[in-house]
A = this chain, B = another copy of it.
Amino acid sequence: MDNNDKLVEKLIQRNNANIVLLVMDGLGDIPNKDFGRKTPLEYAITPNLDKLAKESALGRHIPVLPGITPGSGPGHLGLFGYDPLEYEIGRGMLEAAGMDMDIKDGDVAARCNFASADENGVITDRRAGRIPTEKCVEICEILSNNIKTVDGVEVIIRPGMQHRFVVMFRGENLCDKLTDSDPLMEGKEPLDVEPLTENANFTAEIVNKFFREARKVIKDLKPANSLLMRGFSAKPRIPSMCDRFGLNTVCIAHYPMYRGLSKFVGMNVLDAGNTPEDAFNVYTDNCSKYDFLFIHIKYTDSFGEDGNFQGKVKTIEAVDKALPILLEKKPNVLCITGDHSTPAAMKGHSWHPVPVMIHSDFCGFDDASRFTENDCNKGSLGMFQSKYLINYLLANAMKLSKFGA
């Protein structure tokens, strides 16, 4: 826990003000030469965001450290006020939490694929032809019925979308310091899971035994006759936002991973539905019950990852169009930002700082005319690490007392 964490926790004063954190995943971008040298935020027609920008404090935040491209976990932990270098959440645990699995201290989870293998066990399709989700459910049930424990360690299997599923191991002395079994390419056999520390020897043994037993159970179920495991991770030890900041928090998200992530910081979870309107209506129905409401919009990132500039633009425009639903309830503090940048031209996450605006009665405002990367560059929040965003949100909600006489 660094000085900032200690200080903020000491200065917290509770009140009834509420904070809305609207995250458009992967929002930040870079100007695109195919679209008039504009970023999606610049290209999009956004009358509501423009109006808000004129009454907000703007800036850009850096998810981890300058030049570092974050995954979704670190990106969101930063937004929630956690140093992503101090708190890490493994991919397996993220998936498990996103599936609403009941997670206990000491559990170790892996993110798994059903895969296709030839008669020698060599992987011929890492995704088993993307079997339909119903098929995945069926095979997971077969596995669950056949393998309940391995050497006394409980095994919990949960189907995901298509070929994806999660295996969670529950028992004494488990450790997540393990290599993946997924060779990340076809034409190879699944790898033995190797312990990365001595503590993990026992868990590696259990996991490898599980693999062999599972292979036996499904080996005739082509195309899903093998499995790959990666992202072994234990339940992270993270103090809740309630304990740290006295906030009654809720996550409104459609995608499992973001709901899962939010649970690790103690958030309640509501399904956002599929569109910005849906999400904002869920907000409207629930805003009186919470004082920190995190709303997650996924498609800005998805289109960014696909290199679909216009899809990203349309998602931003859809958020803008629905924004009045959210504004109707007059949140005391409204912050609009992303968890990281996903430039369409790069088809992936990037290190570019994320545009952010904060609106409240006390935010002040800059001479911005729109909510764009360039306007944010000139804003009064300047450039800051994402982990400090929570300070600004709490300050604008008057939830932080003065430091020192």
**A residues whose Cβ falls under 8 Å from a Cβ of B:** 3-4, 7-8, 11, 29-31, 37, 60, 64-74, 84-85, 88-91, 94, 231, 343, 345-346, 348-353, 362-367, 373-374, 377-384, 388, 390-395, 400-405
Integer count of this chain's copies in the complex: 2
What is the interface of chain A mostly: helix, strand, loop, or mixed? loop
Tell me how far the C-beta of A304 lies from the nearest C-beta in chain B, rounded to whole angstroms: 13
The 9 listed contacts between A and B (C-beta, < 8 Å) are: A7-B65, A29-B364, A65-B388, A71-B405, A84-B404, A89-B405, A346-B362, A367-B374, A377-B378
Can you list the 4 inter-chain pairs with the closest CB atoms, starting with the nearest? A67-B391, A382-B383, A30-B364, A71-B404
Residue of B nearest to A86 (CB): B3
Given A67-B391, A364-B31, A395-B68, the answer on whether A90 and B405 have CB atoms closer than 8 Å is yes
The answer to whether A366 touches B362, judged by C-beta atoms less than 8 angstroms apart, is no
The answer to whether A395 touches B69, judged by C-beta atoms less than 8 angstroms apart, is yes
Q: Which residues of B contact A352 (CB under 8 A)?
A: 364, 380
The answer to whether A60 touches B382, judged by C-beta atoms less than 8 angstroms apart, is yes
Given A70-B403, A405-B71, the answer on whether A382 and B380 have CB atoms closer than 8 Å is no
The answer to whether A382 touches B391, judged by C-beta atoms less than 8 angstroms apart, is no
Q: Which residues of B contact A367 (CB under 8 A)?
A: 374
Tell me how far the C-beta of A377 lies from the nearest C-beta in chain B, rounded to whole angstroms: 5
The answer to whether B380 touches A377, judged by C-beta atoms less than 8 angstroms apart, is yes
7 more A-B residue pairs beyond the given contacts A66-B384, A70-B404, A366-B377, with a C-beta to C-beta distance below 8 A: A66-B388, A69-B402, A74-B403, A84-B404, A377-B378, A377-B379, A383-B383
Tell me how far the C-beta of A34 lies from the nearest C-beta in chain B, rounded to whole angstroms: 14
Q: Which residues of B contact A353 (CB under 8 A)?
A: 380, 382
The answer to whether A85 touches B7, judged by C-beta atoms less than 8 angstroms apart, is yes
The answer to whether A377 touches B382, judged by C-beta atoms less than 8 angstroms apart, is yes
